[in-house]
Amino acid sequence: MEKLEKLGLKRVAFLQALALSFYISSVGLLMWNANKWVPVKNALGPILFLTLFSVSVLICGFLTLGYPVYLFWIKQQKIDAIKVLAYTTKWLILFGFLIFVLILAF
């Protein structure tokens, strides 16, 4: 965690949002191609989807909240923890807007 502290709050937030955007894009591509890989429709599809959803919640929560929780509980830097969450949210909104623009452009 010392390496993250040297990066600064805004850069850590950018990296968190970038990692989260990459993960979301990967899961989106996986779901987009799922019918090609598993063409048979049966009861296991919803189970697989809910499992993927649950794992995604854990991964997204870790990517977004891991460092802020560390700052909040371990380092007792509550203001910095809130700042990292706010910066991460801002970056995610920007990335979402850029993806929306790309969708409209192509």
Three-state DSSP string of 8-68: CHHHHHHHHHHHHHHHHHHHHHHHHCHHHHCCCCCCHHHHHHHHHHHHHHHHHHHHHHHHH
pTM for this model (two decimals): 0.87
Between helices 78-105 and 44-69, what is the axis angle to 10°?
Answer: 130
Per-residue pLDDT of 89-106, as tens digits, reads 999 999 999 999 999 998
SS3 91: helix
CA distances from 25 to 69, 70, 76 (A): 25, 26, 33
Digit-coded pLDDT (tens) for 16-58 = 999 999 999 999 999 888 878 777 778 888 888 899 999 999 9
pLDDT at 15 over 90: yes
